[in-house]
Amino acid sequence: MRVFQILYSMWFNKCPRCHKGNVFVYKNPYRLKALFKLYEHCSSCNLQYEREPSFFYGAMYVSYALTSGWFIVWYVLYITLLNTMDTLWFALAMASSLIVLSPLTLRWSRMLWLNFFVPFNPLKNQNT
């Protein structure tokens, strides 16, 4: 059950505690000038998102894990299905997919990091 709560919060960029307030100011992750802009507090349960200075530095490890997982998926595809493809074209396709998905990876890593420390608690949905 906890996994579904984390995935919901991550996919829809909702507060990990109440699943009502938005975490990021802009919903579009490809608005690169505002990629890291997030609200200070949840509009529904008043949860402070950045719990301490440099709180989201730990999200770099999550981002590394997500990117490594994406590389493993590409590598397995290359070994099983795309082994006739030229290695240069494979590397270019993989690198371009990583570049295109990097804004999503950055947001998902922040959301996962926040969900590691804040459990879902539907009883705290009121402003306190």
- The domain limits of the chain are 2-124
* CA distances in angstroms from 77 to 70, 84, 87, listed in the order given: 11, 11, 13
Distance CA 43, CA 116 (A): 20
> Is-above-0.85 flag for pTM?
no
Asked which of 23-27, 76-80, 105-109 is least confident by mean pLDDT, the reply is: 76-80
Band of residue 2 on the pLDDT scale cut at 50, 70, 90? confident
Summarize the confidence of residues 66-82 as an average pLDDT: 88
pLDDT band at 125 (very low <50, low <70, confident <90, very high): low
- Percent of the chain at pLDDT > 90 equals 41
Q: Which residues of 18-27 are buried (b: 16+ CB within 10 A; e: fewer)?
A: bbebbbbeee
Q: The dihedral of CA 23, 17, 8, 114: what is its sign?
A: positive
| H or E element in which residue 62 lies | helix 59-80
Residue 128 has pLDDT above 50, yes or no: no
What confidence score (pLDDT) does residue 123 get?
74
Residues 11-19 have a mean pLDDT of: 91
Q: What is the pLDDT of residue 124?
A: 61
123: left (phi over 0), alpha (psi -120 to 50) or beta: alpha
